[in-house]
Structure 1
Amino acid sequence: MKGGRKMKFARVIVGMNNPETDRVFDYRIPEKFEDIAIQGMRVIVPFGKKNTKTEGYILSLSNVSEISQEKLKDLLEILDEGKPIFTPAMLRLAEWMKDKYFCTLNQCLQAIMPSGIRTKSVWYASLTDRKDIPKCGKMEQTVLDALADMGGAAELTEMEKIFGRGCKSILQQLQKKNIISLKQRLLRSDFKIEKRFFSINFNATLLENAMKKAQQDKRLQGQKMLFDLLLEKGECSMEEIKGKGINDSPVKTLLAKGMIQERREEKKRAVFSLDDYEKTSPFHPTSQQANALAVIEKQLIIPVKKPILLHGITGSGKTEIYMQSIAKVLAMGKQAVVLVPEISLTPQMMERFISRFGAAVSITHSRLSAGERLDQWKKAREGEVSVIIGPRSALFMPFSNLGMIIVDEVHENSYISDITPKYDAREAAKKLAEDTGAVLIMGSATPDLVTYHKATMREYLLLELTERTGGGFLPQMHIVDMRKELEEGNRSSFSRVLQQEIAKNLEKGEQTMLFLNRRGFATFVSCRSCGHVMRCRDCNISYTYHAKENALMCHYCGKTVENPKTCPVCGSKYIRYFGTGTQKIEDEARRLFPKAKILRMDLDTTSGKGSHNRILEAFRHGQADILVGTQMIAKGHDFPNVSLVGIMAADTSLNTGSFYASENTFQLITQAGGRAGRVNDTGRVYVQTYQPKHYAITHAAKQDYKGFYGEEILLRYMMGYPPFGAFFSVLVSGQNAQETVLASEGLGRLFQEGNQDGNFFVMGPVAAVLSKFRGEFRQRILIQGKEEEALAQFVVRIVEKAKKNTKKEIYFNLTPNPMNIV
């Protein structure tokens, strides 16, 4: 520990996902580490009876330990060049996430730390050189023969692929007989790019002789050139050396002899070039923007802050408020995080921020390489950047003096992680802002009802922007009754009026966006003879047909299979495609408008690195007349030449079986419609629906958020839905269908027995909508209650009781207020 009293013990949590090891272990700090061991470091420790080398994380240091000295073990290694990977604020956030989302502390730390750097432990089995091999059992001999066939050594995982997990015990028996050895190897990646520099080592005793020899011996021409270059320049990079026609050989030779010395400099990857962006200046704010900025500036300087909800209609200049607020934060010497809900929004947001703040900005998201992401993380830690933009994981950047967190499009569900820990980045942002004293700004044209309700109850500050900047107008919204279209003989996915409006746009040279919240070509594929639906065997969910690949894909696990020519059940050739996807809309648009240039943007067309940006930039620069897409195109984008938006099937999100369905539908229609007419008053939006009288659709068509809120909040109050109540989901899963059902039924009985006073409403167990996923069977129990904390305590108590009488192969996954119940 640099400065102050040296600590003797490190309190470490090991990087294992086993709940039984998710606790703190004390380790001695060896003398060689006393001056450098600090909180938040990543270390290697011996763990367990066999002292297996295991990655761990220092949570704190202490001068005392309750464990007896003889039982304590030493830290073995400090990683990451002695720099911590967790700030104190991130460790506190991990502790909070553990309690909030019912997972292990290790799982939370794994979510927070940079991806890809975790140490991998690989075990190898290898034959010893023992000559007098004792008698072995049949299975032991089979394993030995296989090991010999594999060259005498193999990874344990390779052996398990052949013989199953039981082979580990066989290998351990063979190790006891000294026939084989089992050794652990630690693998880690630092993703470093280092620049190498060379200079003459003037302290080398034989330097003068080496230089003379190089001058006289023609065979050492390369060494002579290298000496001459370094004498002239002092120090040269490897690139400069090779640029002078000098290859690696003289460098290696003189380095090995100590005649020259090497210095390495880490080179962090850049994810953009400043040359690609023009500098911009702050816009003069409107009166509404100025009022909002004044409130935010006051929040920056007061000690006790309130979260801010910035409720602004589409095109009202929320991003400009973000940037002018961040400028004040940077002037205070602090940093800011800007969260965006989709990777597709990041390039546009990045362009605006880089043009304003230059090299102070960076970006992170999953489409960058692991090395690129790690380098942006390091830039944040080392103060090389002050603003980070990205999806929910950007929240975990290791800034030392965080001043502001912005959550753009705060209503978006993509802020909730669908893998453990199933954290909500909005809740985590609020907690982090409270802990660090940062200002939290949440922006949206269509805030989720829970957030807006908190603002109306004055838990949050509410700032409203009701006018578009630059004289823009909200588009004219039209509801198209698709029932009438069908009655009048139009079986196309395009209503007649939408076809006419697209044709007008093409004539005028204006752009059109077509929005459908479903990718692929058809929803499902079935046999018309026997009715069999093609389903994924691992997930028991219908495949989606993709025309371009002529293949079926499971949109849950990603499995792809060939499109069958005949029914696998009855052998019929009559295979039919049902439903409509983005690919089908694209194909139909090409048929209706053969001269139009059409782009499609969904998960299938944006899987490659930079693909989001290429599609968006092509459309922004007029290289396409029509953009077809999923919710990726529905919000946040500003395309000046888009004057028409077609919402192809507004009912899709109404029929999801979730009580959030109406809210999600209102948001999607409003956000998608907001892409039209952002510069002039010619914007038109056509909402195609089979439920034209539904209040979510009628209010969205009027862009009337408060009218929708009034109806929806009353329904929530009557039903006890959030924000007037809470839900808890317990997912029971296992590889054996019968055991999973029995375990869920037993859990259901315990819930009913523990709910004698009737404070909670227990639903289930029933098969989950996604009843089989990646080979595991799933049962779902939903519990509803008035108070979230009391509900959580009840659920946890009952689940812990159930675990005591349940096989280890059965898993319980707890999720508070789930957004879906798949």
Structure 2
Amino acid sequence: MNRNRARVLLLNPALGPLDYRVPQGMTAEPGAIVLAPLGPRQLAGVVWEPERMASDAEVGDNRLRNLVAVYDLPPLKDSLRRLIEWTADYYLAPPAAVLRMALASASALDGGPTIVEYRATGHLPDRLTPQRAQALERIGERQGLVRELATIADVSEGVIRGLCKVGAIEPVTVAVDDPYPEPDPDHDPPDLSAEQQAAAGALADAVLARTFHPVLLDGVTGSGKTEVYFEAIAAALRDGRQTLVLLPEIALTEPFLKRFTARFGVAPVAWHSDLRQSQRRRAWRAIASGEAKVVVGARSALFLPYRELGLIVVDEAHESSFKQEEGVMYHARDVAVMRGHFEQLPVILASATPAIETRHQVEQGRYAELKLPARFGGAQMPDIAALDLVADPPPRGRWLAPKLVEALGETMARGEQALLFLNRRGYAPLTLCRHCGHRFQCPNCTAWMVEHRLTQRLQCHHCGHIMPPPRACPECKEEDALVACGPGVERIADEVTALFPEARTAIVTSDTLWSPARAAEFVGRMEARDIDIVIGTQLVTKGYHFPNLTLVGVVDADLGLSGGDLRAAERSFQQIAQVAGRAGRGDKPGRVLVQTHDPSAPVIHALVSGDVDGFYAAETDSRREAGAPPFGRFAGIIISSENLAETVETARMIGRAAPQVEGMMVFGPAPAPLAMLRGRHRQRLLVHARRALDVQAVIREWLGALEWPRGVRVAVDVDPYSFL
């Protein structure tokens, strides 16, 4: 190996690896994090083995540019570099785009023990403009850099600086590399049942064995899965190694932190999008040094450079939000298993409703399985009944059936709490003019504008475009002719208030629980019994434990079954089973009422009858018959451009060039269901292949031989979850 020459993968997805000269006195071994020149700029990158990654351009030694510096940081381990290569190869992504997730805090690369952040002082300026008022309201107790506060407040950086000048915001010096307190594995050990103890012992043994061992921890809602895998975390702590716990939603972080702190005495290290830059820097450096013993985070935490990883837990492993839909379109559950393989450690997939793909791996003997079939402490599973909306419909203009309304009244009379589930944010999914029929559509997307009455706006849930609701129809100019069609959670909340004026309600969606702090506030109010009825989306279906919540009403069980998604029935079953699992988790019995227009649908029948195995067997058989995952392979090819003609022509060119390969079919091109997204026209092709075919190699060669206009983007989604 030539020690005077280094192959470097830079943090630029448009480039492959480049070669550099290693100046005399500098050492740059594979894995070293370096600073390298690129044109007039300097970029961070990682030294790679030349034999594992070909350079973009072979250049003679005499023409190489010198590396600028090697950072004083632990090098990226061989196992992490192999994971980056595998992820890039499997998901057909640029290796540099995957590497960027490992080096996810630019400020962490440089030294420096302090940083200046800003926070509100509580002083209101004499000149309180609407933007200044908005900024101070949204910032609240939060602090951060000027640009971070500007993003939080949705104002310009100039507004924040103006507030600094008048004393409404002040600078504060933050120590960024303070050590984290260590969790104590023996702080408050739980009193486990015999079943839980057996599962916990098996998981602890797997941690100490230090070998690759994927395990499905399959337990009904309320069976104590978290307490069981906490004992595996305790084993890793005693062994001096790190643990990563992946959660599907940022809002779940806070309840988890609370339970973790009660068990281990201190909070784990959190990693998610709501962290300030200084917090990300501190967490990243502690993870790389091995000081952060337990990390809980969103899917991106999977690629961080753990020094001594001993265990990975994927909680709610069935969740579709573990699939990244932009950039590197990876599935965190599957990449977690691969990281376990490269690092030689156990991976626990915890779920009450495991995905068919995971169940198949158990059947094939590739994953072990531990079952927890009963709720902890004698709590019983709730009774589930279907309400036929055809036979017993709600009154005109209402959405809650009489029997559900009656059950809500009985629950409140007993002083217990209820949850109404509808997976639809806002007040109404569609607004139209009753005079001319005009429908409000997003100007950037093929999607309806959703009315949000609480914030007085129409919003696109795909691109974020916002507009105030007009008084008059923009088409026919008729005033007061706009009508809301269909219900969202806000409309259900209005109906609840009309029916039960004394009820204390809370709306729980990503609009209202946008940060762990807001989630903590909601949990506190529920535990203090300050809320009688929760109206929420899928955000409230998992991870929460409220012993006084005894009634769950599913407002529209049919909603998730439309759209032709191959996972629609499975996903609906999982969502409704999870939300049903919020009921009766204490010593009071729970009840679940499911509103549907088709009580005989397989999903509803399985939920009501409890025939989970029969439902999954039928779903698995239909997938096998169709050659769908896990028995076959899918890959989506998405073509997009601001120019419609360019989009269509490129899609047709790719379709015409599709190779004739045995065991593979290509469908399309066709306009995507979301034919326009964020101002870009979209076309899709779908590749369907048999399981054994190396479909990535076929697509790589197929697309690699083609050229398209600069304004066109072509993305490949391997194992797609969304077909929009």
Shared fold by TM > 0.5?
yes
Structure 1 position 38, deviation (Å): 4.5
- Counterpart among 769, 788, 798 of residue 673 in structure 2: 769
- Aligned residue runs from structure 1 range 210-289, under 5 A: 266-268=175-177, 281-289=188-196
- Aligned residue runs from structure 1 range 140-151, under 5 A: none
- Counterpart among 4, 7, 11 of residue 11 in structure 1: 7
Tell me the secondary structure at the aligned position of residue 779 of structure 1. strand
Q: Letter of the aligned partner of 2:572 in structure 1?
A: T
Q: Conserved in 2, the CA contact under 8 Å of 1:360 and 1:384?
A: no
Structure 2 CA distance for partners of 1:584 and 1:272, relative to 1, 3 Å:
farther
Residue matched to 2:287: 380
Q: Conserved in 2, the CA contact under 8 Å of 1:732 and 1:779?
A: yes
Q: Deviations over 1:363-407 (max 9, x none)?
A: 221122122122122222223321111121222332222111011
Residue matched to 1:554: 460
- Aligned residue runs from structure 1 range 739-778, under 5 A: 739-751=646-658, 754-755=659-660, 759-778=663-682
Q: Deviations over 1:633-672 (max 9, x none)?
A: 1012110110111111111111132010000010011100
Structure 2 CA distance for partners of 1:42 and 1:400, relative to 1, 3 Å:
closer
Structure 1 position 267, deviation (Å): 4.1
- Aligned residue runs from structure 1 range 18-29, under 5 A: 18=14, 21-22=15-16, 24-29=17-22
Residue matched to 1:685: 592
Name structure 2 gaps, 5 residues minimum: 118-172
Tell me the secondary structure at the aligned position of residue 659 of structure 1. coil
Residue matched to 2:63: 71
Tell me the secondary structure at the aligned position of residue 265 of structure 2. helix
Q: Conserved in 2, the CA contact under 8 Å of 1:101 and 1:815?
A: yes
- Counterpart among 29, 46, 49 of residue 57 in structure 1: 46
Q: Deviations over 1:21-43 (max 9, x none)?
A: 21x22212223534xx4444443
Structure 1 position 559, deviation (Å): 1.1
Q: Letter of the aligned partner of 2:420 in structure 1?
A: L
Q: Answer with 571-580 or 809-818: which moved more.
A: 571-580
Structure 1 position 87, deviation (Å): 3.5
Structure 2 CA distance for partners of 1:116 and 1:522, relative to 1, 3 Å:
farther
Q: Letter of the aligned partner of 2:26 in structure 1?
A: F
Structure 1 position 626, deviation (Å): 1.1
- Aligned residue runs from structure 1 range 564-583, under 5 A: 564-573=470-479, 574-583=481-490
Q: Conserved in 2, the CA contact under 8 Å of 1:338 and 1:387?
A: yes
1:480 matches 2:470: no
Cα distance between partner residues in 1 of 2:398 and 2:76: 55
Q: Deviations over 1:468-510 (max 9, x none)?
A: 1101000011111112233x74542111111111111111111
- Aligned residue runs from structure 1 range 335-346, under 5 A: 335-346=242-253
Structure 1 position 631, deviation (Å): 0.7
Structure 1 position 423, deviation (Å): 1.0
1:818 matches 2:724: no
Cα distance between partner residues in 1 of 2:322 and 2:694: 25
Structure 1 position 435, deviation (Å): 1.0
- Counterpart among 102, 109, 113 of residue 103 in structure 2: 113
- Aligned residue runs from structure 1 range 155-554, under 5 A: 192-193=114-115, 266-268=175-177, 281-302=188-209, 304-359=211-266, 361-486=268-393, 489=395, 491-554=397-460
- Aligned residue runs from structure 1 range 693-772, under 5 A: 693-751=600-658, 754-755=659-660, 759-772=663-676
Q: Conserved in 1, the CA contact under 8 Å of 2:210 and 2:310?
A: no
- Counterpart among 662, 670, 682 of residue 569 in structure 2: 662
- Aligned residue runs from structure 1 range 776-795, under 5 A: 776-787=680-691, 789-795=693-699
Structure 1 position 730, deviation (Å): 0.3
Name structure 1 gaps, 5 residues minimum: 120-187, 196-263
Q: Letter of the aligned partner of 1:101 in structure 2?
A: Y
Q: Conserved in 2, the CA contact under 8 Å of 1:314 and 1:674?
A: yes
Paired residues in the alignment total: 663
Tell me the secondary structure at the aligned position of residue 74 of structure 1. coil
Tell me the secondary structure at the aligned position of residue 501 of structure 1. helix
Structure 2 CA distance for partners of 1:508 and 1:820, relative to 1, 3 Å:
same
Q: Conserved in 1, the CA contact under 8 Å of 2:188 and 2:264?
A: no
Q: Conserved in 2, the CA contact under 8 Å of 1:360 and 1:386?
A: no
Structure 1 position 799, deviation (Å): 2.0
Structure 1 position 57, deviation (Å): 2.6
Tell me the secondary structure at the aligned position of residue 473 of structure 1. coil
Q: Answer with 696-705 or 651-660: which moved more.
A: 696-705
Structure 1 position 7, deviation (Å): 3.6
Q: Conserved in 1, the CA contact under 8 Å of 2:101 and 2:304?
A: no
Tell me the secondary structure at the aligned position of residue 706 of structure 1. helix
Q: Letter of the aligned partner of 1:466 in structure 2?
A: P
Q: Conserved in 1, the CA contact under 8 Å of 2:428 and 2:485?
A: yes
Tell me the secondary structure at the aligned position of residue 657 of structure 2. helix
Q: Percent identity?
A: 32
Tell me the secondary structure at the aligned position of residue 566 of structure 1. coil
Q: Conserved in 1, the CA contact under 8 Å of 2:181 and 2:266?
A: no
Q: Letter of the aligned partner of 1:494 in structure 2?
A: L
Residue matched to 2:711: 809
Structure 1 position 600, deviation (Å): 1.0
Cα distance between partner residues in 2 of 1:75 and 1:360: 40
Tell me the secondary structure at the aligned position of residue 549 of structure 1. coil
Cα distance between partner residues in 2 of 1:15 and 1:290: 46
Cα distance between partner residues in 2 of 1:286 and 1:12: 53
TM-score by length of 1: 0.76
TM-score by length of 2: 0.86
Q: Deviations over 1:568-587 (max 9, x none)?
A: 22323322211111111111
Tell me the secondary structure at the aligned position of residue 484 of structure 1. coil
Q: Conserved in 2, the CA contact under 8 Å of 1:315 and 1:469?
A: yes
Q: Conserved in 1, the CA contact under 8 Å of 2:340 and 2:347?
A: yes
Tell me the secondary structure at the aligned position of residue 615 of structure 2. helix
Q: Conserved in 1, the CA contact under 8 Å of 2:258 and 2:267?
A: no
Structure 1 position 551, deviation (Å): 1.0
Q: Conserved in 2, the CA contact under 8 Å of 1:522 and 1:577?
A: yes
Q: Deviations over 1:86-112 (max 9, x none)?
A: 333322211111101111011001122
Q: Deviations over 1:777-800 (max 9, x none)?
A: 110111212126433333333222
Q: Based on CA coordinates, which of the two structures has the bigger radius of gyration?
A: 1
Tell me the secondary structure at the aligned position of residue 716 of structure 1. helix
Cα distance between partner residues in 2 of 1:526 and 1:345: 36
Cα distance between partner residues in 2 of 1:118 and 1:744: 42
Residue matched to 1:99: 89
Q: Answer with 565-574 or 652-661: which moved more.
A: 565-574
Tell me the secondary structure at the aligned position of residue 73 of structure 1. coil
Cα distance between partner residues in 2 of 1:189 and 1:651: 54
Tell me the secondary structure at the aligned position of residue 380 of structure 2. coil
Q: Letter of the aligned partner of 2:488 in structure 1?
A: G
Structure 2 CA distance for partners of 1:551 and 1:812, relative to 1, 3 Å:
same
1:31 matches 2:24: yes
Which protein is richer in helix relative to its size?
1
Cα distance between partner residues in 1 of 2:465 and 2:210: 52
Q: Conserved in 1, the CA contact under 8 Å of 2:634 and 2:687?
A: yes
Q: Conserved in 2, the CA contact under 8 Å of 1:111 and 1:421?
A: no
